[in-house]
A and B are shown apart, each in its own frame.
Chain A
Amino acid sequence: MGIEWIVIILSSAYLGLLFIIAGWAEKNADKRWLSSPYIYALSLAVYCTAWTFYGSVGRAANQGLDFLTTYMGPILMAPLFWLVLRKIIRICKAQRITSIADFISARYGKSLFLGAFTTVICILAIIPYISIQLKAISSSFRIFNADVNESRGLFFNDSAFYLMAILAVFTIFFGSRKIDTSQKNTGLITVVAFESLFKLFAFLVLGLYVTYGLFNGFSDIFLQSNELPYFERLTTIDHVDGYGDWFWLNLLSFFAIILLPRQFHVAIKENNSENHLKKAIWLFPLYLFLINIFVLPIALGGNLLFPENAVDADTYVLAMPLAQGNTFLALLVFLGGFSAATSMIIVSTSALSIMISNNLMIPGILRNEFLSKRLNPRLNKVVLRGRQIMIVVMLMLAYLYFKYIGQPFPLVSIGLISFVGVAQFAPSAIGGMFWKGGNYKGAIASLTVGFLIWGFTLVLPTIVNADLLSPEILDKGLFGVKWLRPQAFLGVDFSNNVAQGFMWSILFNGLAYVGVSSLTTQSIKETNQAEVFVDIFKYSTVYESAIVWKGQAFITDIKSLLSMFLGKRRTDLAFERFSDRNAIEQSTIEADFRVVNFAEKLLSGAVGSASARILMSSVVKEEEIKLEEVFNILQETQRYITDNKELKKKSEELETAGVKLREANEELTKLDKLKDEFISTVTHEMRTPITSIRALSEIINDNEDLETAERAKFLDTVVEETKRMERLINQVLDLEKMESGKLEIPFSTIHLNDVVTESVRKVKQLITEKGIMLNTNLHGKLPLVKGNRDRLVQVILNLVSNAIKFCDSSNGEITITTSVRNGSVELSVSDNGPGVPNDSQKLIFEAFYQARNQTLKKPEGTGLGLTICKKIIDKHQGSIWIENGKESGAVVAFSLPKLKL
Chain B
Amino acid sequence: MKKVLIVDDEPNILMSLEFLMKKNGYKVFIARDGAEALGTVQDELPDVVILDIMMPEVDGYEVCEFIKKKVNANIKVVFLTAKGKESDFDKGYQVGADFYMTKPFSTKKLVDKVNELAN
Residues of A bordering B, CB below 8 Å: 684, 687-696, 698-699, 702-703, 710, 714, 717, 720-721, 854-858
Q: How far is the CB of A798 from chain B (nearest CB, A)?
A: 21
Query: B25 contacts the other chain (Cβ, under 8 Å)?
Result: no
A679 to B86, CA, bound (A): 17
**With A721-B12, A855-B57, A857-B56: A699-B107 Cβ-Cβ less than 8 Å:** yes
Query: B10 contacts the other chain (Cβ, under 8 Å)?
Result: yes
Knowing that A695-B13, A695-B16, A721-B12 touch, tell me 16 more A-B residue pairs with CB under 8 angstroms.
A684-B83, A687-B103, A687-B104, A688-B10, A691-B105, A692-B16, A693-B104, A695-B105, A698-B108, A699-B19, A699-B20, A714-B15, A714-B16, A717-B12, A854-B57, A857-B56
Query: Which residues from chain B contact A721 at a C-beta distance below 8 Å?
Result: 12
**With A855-B57, A857-B56: A692-B105 Cβ-Cβ less than 8 Å:** no
Q: How far is the CB of B33 from chain A (nearest CB, A)?
A: 8
**With A684-B82, A702-B107, A703-B23: A691-B13 Cβ-Cβ less than 8 Å:** yes
Checking B15, B59, B83, B107 against A717 with a beta-carbon cut-off of 8 angstroms, the contacting residue is B15
Output the residue of A695, A720, A721, A856 with the most chain B CB within 10 A: A695
The residue in chain A whose Cβ has the minimal distance to the Cβ of B55 is A854
Q: How far is the CB of A779 from chain B (nearest CB, A)?
A: 38
A699 to B12, CA, bound (A): 13
Please state if B16 and A699 are interface contacts (CB–CB under 8 Å).
Answer: yes
Checking A694, A854, A857 against B105 with a beta-carbon cut-off of 8 angstroms, the contacting residue is A694
Please state if A692 and B57 are interface contacts (CB–CB under 8 Å).
Answer: no
By DSSP majority rule, is chain A's interface helix, strand, loop, or mixed?
helix
The residue in chain A whose Cβ has the minimal distance to the Cβ of B85 is A680
**With A717-B12, A721-B12: A691-B59 Cβ-Cβ less than 8 Å:** no
Query: Which residues from chain A contact B105 at a C-beta distance below 8 Å?
Result: 691, 694-695
Q: How far is the CB of A862 from chain B (nearest CB, A)?
A: 14
Query: Which residues from chain B contact A710 at a C-beta distance below 8 Å?
Result: 19
Query: Which residues from chain A contact B17 at a C-beta distance below 8 Å?
Result: 695
Query: Which residues from chain A contact B16 at a C-beta distance below 8 Å?
Result: 692, 695-696, 699, 714
A703 to B107, CA, bound (A): 12
Checking B13, B55, B83 against A692 with a beta-carbon cut-off of 8 angstroms, the contacting residue is B13
Query: Which residues from chain A contact B82 at a C-beta distance below 8 Å?
Result: 684, 687-688, 691
Output the residue of A689, A690, A854 with the most chain B CB within 10 A: A854
Query: Which residues from chain A contact B95 at a C-beta distance below 8 Å?
Result: none
Please state if B12 and A692 are interface contacts (CB–CB under 8 Å).
Answer: yes
A692 to B19, CA, bound (A): 12
1/0 per residue, CB under 8 A from A, across B73-87: the answer is: 000000000110000
Query: Which residues from chain B contact A684 at a C-beta distance below 8 Å?
Result: 82-83
A694 to B108, CA, bound (A): 12
Output the residue of B10, B12, B13, B55 with the most chain A CB within 10 A: B12
Q: How many residues of B contact A (CB 8 A)?
A: 23
A428 to B56, CA, bound (A): 96
Please state if B59 and A854 are interface contacts (CB–CB under 8 Å).
Answer: yes
The residue in chain A whose Cβ has the minimal distance to the Cβ of B10 is A688
Please state if A688 and B19 are interface contacts (CB–CB under 8 Å).
Answer: no
1/0 per residue, CB under 8 A from A, across B1-22: the answer is: 0000000011011011101100
A696 to B23, CA, bound (A): 13
A694 to B54, CA, bound (A): 20
Q: How far is the CB of A172 from chain B (nearest CB, A)?
A: 91
**With A699-B19, A703-B23, A717-B12: A691-B104 Cβ-Cβ less than 8 Å:** yes
Q: How far is the CB of A827 from chain B (nearest CB, A)?
A: 30
Query: Which residues from chain B contact A692 at a C-beta distance below 8 Å?
Result: 10, 12-13, 16
Query: Which residues from chain A contact B54 at a C-beta distance below 8 Å?
Result: 854
A721 to B16, CA, bound (A): 13
11 contacts between A and B (CB under 8 A): A688-B13, A692-B10, A695-B16, A695-B104, A695-B107, A696-B16, A702-B107, A702-B108, A714-B15, A857-B56, A858-B9
The residue in chain B whose Cβ has the minimal distance to the Cβ of A685 is B82
Output the residue of A690, A691, A854 with the most chain B CB within 10 A: A691
The residue in chain A whose Cβ has the minimal distance to the Cβ of B83 is A684
Output the residue of B16, B83, B106 with the most chain A CB within 10 A: B16
Q: How far is the CB of B72 from chain A (nearest CB, A)?
A: 26
Output the residue of B13, B55, B83 with the most chain A CB within 10 A: B13
The residue in chain A whose Cβ has the minimal distance to the Cβ of B82 is A687
Q: How far is the CB of A770 from chain B (nearest CB, A)?
A: 16
Checking A688, A698, A703, A854 against B103 with a beta-carbon cut-off of 8 angstroms, the contacting residue is A688
A698 to B54, CA, bound (A): 24
A854 to B23, CA, bound (A): 32
Q: How far is the CB of A434 from chain B (nearest CB, A)?
A: 78
**With A699-B20, A703-B23, A717-B15: A694-B104 Cβ-Cβ less than 8 Å:** yes
**With A691-B82, A854-B59, A858-B56: A698-B12 Cβ-Cβ less than 8 Å:** no
Query: Which residues from chain B contact A702 at a C-beta distance below 8 Å?
Result: 107-108
The residue in chain A whose Cβ has the minimal distance to the Cβ of B17 is A695
**With A692-B16, A721-B12, A858-B9: A698-B57 Cβ-Cβ less than 8 Å:** no
A714 to B82, CA, bound (A): 21
Query: Which residues from chain A contact B10 at a C-beta distance below 8 Å?
Result: 688, 691-692
Of residues 71 to 119 in B, which have CB atoms within 8 Å of A's CB atoms? 82-83, 103-108
Query: Which residues from chain B contact A690 at a C-beta distance below 8 Å?
Result: 103-104
**With A688-B82, A857-B56: A696-B12 Cβ-Cβ less than 8 Å:** yes
A698 to B109, CA, bound (A): 11
Query: Which residues from chain A contact B56 at a C-beta distance below 8 Å?
Result: 854-858
A92 to B13, CA, bound (A): 97
A196 to B103, CA, bound (A): 105
A698 to B104, CA, bound (A): 11
Please state if A698 and B19 are interface contacts (CB–CB under 8 Å).
Answer: no
The residue in chain B whose Cβ has the minimal distance to the Cβ of A680 is B85
A720 to B9, CA, bound (A): 17
A692 to B12, CA, bound (A): 6
The residue in chain A whose Cβ has the minimal distance to the Cβ of B84 is A687
A720 to B106, CA, bound (A): 20
A546 to B19, CA, bound (A): 95
5 tightest A-B CB contacts, nearest first: A691-B103, A695-B16, A687-B82, A692-B12, A691-B104
A702 to B57, CA, bound (A): 36
Checking B55, B83, B106 against A698 with a beta-carbon cut-off of 8 angstroms, the contacting residue is B106
Query: Which residues from chain B contact A856 at a C-beta distance below 8 Å?
Result: 56
A684 to B54, CA, bound (A): 11
Query: Which residues from chain A contact B83 at a C-beta distance below 8 Å?
Result: 684
Query: Which residues from chain A contact B59 at a C-beta distance below 8 Å?
Result: 854
A858 to B105, CA, bound (A): 21
Query: Which residues from chain B contact A714 at a C-beta distance below 8 Å?
Result: 15-16
A717 to B11, CA, bound (A): 10
Query: Which residues from chain A contact B57 at a C-beta distance below 8 Å?
Result: 854-855
A717 to B14, CA, bound (A): 12
Query: Which residues from chain B contact A857 at a C-beta distance below 8 Å?
Result: 56
A690 to B106, CA, bound (A): 12
Query: Which residues from chain B contact A855 at a C-beta distance below 8 Å?
Result: 56-57
A699 to B111, CA, bound (A): 12
Query: Which residues from chain B contact A689 at a C-beta distance below 8 Å?
Result: 12
Query: Which residues from chain A contact B19 at a C-beta distance below 8 Å?
Result: 699, 710
Q: How far is the CB of A698 from chain B (nearest CB, A)?
A: 4
Q: How far is the CB of A688 from chain B (nearest CB, A)?
A: 6
Q: How far is the CB of B86 from chain A (nearest CB, A)?
A: 14
